[in-house]
Amino acid sequence: MESQRNISEFILLGLSYNQNVQIFCFVFFLFCYVSILVGNLLILVSIRCSGLFYQPMYYFLSHLSFMDICYTSCVTPKLIGDLLLARKTISYDNCMLQVFFLHFLGIIEIFILTVMAFDRYAAICKPLHYLLIMNKTRCHLLVLAAWAGGAVHSFSQFSMIILLPFCGPNEINHYYCDIFPLLKVACTDTYITGVLVVANSGMVALVTFVLLFGSYIVILFSLRNHSAEGRHKALSTCGSHITVVILFFGPSIFAYLRPPTTFPEDKIFALFYTIIAPMFNPLIYTLRNTEMKKAMRRVWCQRIF
């Protein structure tokens, strides 16, 4: 690898050159990161310390919260620290690790959201067979499959980036190491690599989004046969899932399902799926979920009082 590159670090251009904007972003993203940690840890502990952990929906939700913490921790602490620095750099090795783990954890989160949609489909459309369909063994296997899918995807992306030669410009117009900005500074023709990235990441995001959207259409269509109370409860749960899916998948599809190039708007859209969506997930899943709110009150009121 040393023969293919003569740089040891990349310079991140960040979000803005304006000092006042950087100070505002520092305070805002610090608040966001603390909110992400506190909110998702509250969900994790509340589910784990209550009977909800043994229900498939909340079992998957606990994994989603864990993924949110890990995923955003790959980017946000570095972003917050860099906002206080005049020169923002990241070593070559850390840059490659960031690319690997962002795609690894991001795909796991996508697959867990898909599994959660399948769980809601089974609960609403196949209520008599729900416990048989979503038994404990199958839930474990679905989560394991999500991890395996994340590993396959991230290794395929990582293998393309790690082989690129970097021998000239090392300025990345982003606040973290992403594939398209890296393709732009590689000293070789990256057209084929860019097409492969779009075919991989872009199509995974698009196909998964279509499957999720289709599953929720089937769920909503089947609600005609439920009681008014059943429809209200199902719509409340599905509404939370749909909101999370839109927040996460909308910007992701824009970022990866397009010609392999970079745009100024990339950094803004990236903020949605790396920071904003993980911050809102705990609020979305708790404020509209009666069982979750009851579990949190039981767990934390007992611990405090």
Rounded distance between C-alpha atoms, residue 166 and residue 235, angstroms: 50
**pLDDT tens per residue, range 162-188:** 888 888 778 888 889 888 888 888 888
Other beta carbons within 10 Å of 225: 9
Other beta carbons within 10 Å of 154: 20
58 CB-near residues (< 8 Å, 6+ apart): 47, 52, 291, 292
Count of residues for the chain?
305
98 CB-near residues (< 8 Å, 6+ apart): 74, 75, 78, 90, 176, 177
Of 264, 165, 248, 235, whose CA–CA distance to 204 is shortest?
A: 248
Q: What are the beta bridge partners of residue 9?
A: 91
Q: Exposure string (b/e) for 11-44, b if CB count within 10 Å is 16 or more?
A: bbebbeeeeeebeebbeebeebbebbbebbebbb
Rounded distance between C-alpha atoms, residue 263 and residue 39, angstroms: 32
**pLDDT tens per residue, range 124-141:** 888 888 888 889 999 999
Rounded distance between C-alpha atoms, residue 192 and residue 160, angstroms: 10
Average of per-residue pLDDT across 227-246 = 70
Average predicted confidence (pLDDT) for the chain: 83
Of 113, 112, 128, whose CA–CA distance to 238 is shortest?
A: 113
Q: Which residue has the higher pLDDT, 39 or 244?
A: 39
- The answer to whether 236 touches 288, Cβ cutoff 8 Å, is yes
The domain defined by 9-302 carries CATH number 3.40.1440.10: no
- The answer to whether 75 touches 276, Cβ cutoff 8 Å, is no
- The answer to whether 145 touches 167, Cβ cutoff 8 Å, is no
Total-model pTM:
0.85
Rounded distance between C-alpha atoms, residue 246 and residue 213, angstroms: 10
Show me where the domains of the chain are located.
Answer: 9-302
Residue 22, CA distances (Å) to 27, 172, 246 in order: 9, 18, 28
Other beta carbons within 10 Å of 134: 21
Whether the predicted pLDDT of 297 surpasses 90: no
The pLDDT of residue 236 is 66
Average of per-residue pLDDT across 291-303 = 72
**pLDDT tens per residue, range 197-218:** 877 777 787 888 888 878 878 8
Which residue is associated with the tokens 């394991």? 144
The pLDDT of residue 303 is 58
Q: Mapping DSSP to helix (H, G, I), strand (E, B) and coil, where does residue 262 land? A: coil
Identify the burial level of 184 via C-beta atoms within 10 angstroms of its C-beta, where 0-12 means exposed, 13-18 middle and 19 or more buried: middle
Pinpoint the alpha helices (H) of the chain.
Answer: 19-48, 56-73, 76-82, 92-125, 130-133, 136-162, 179-185, 191-197, 203-222, 228-256, 266-271, 277-287, 290-304
Of 153, 114, 150, whose CA–CA distance to 249 is shortest?
A: 114
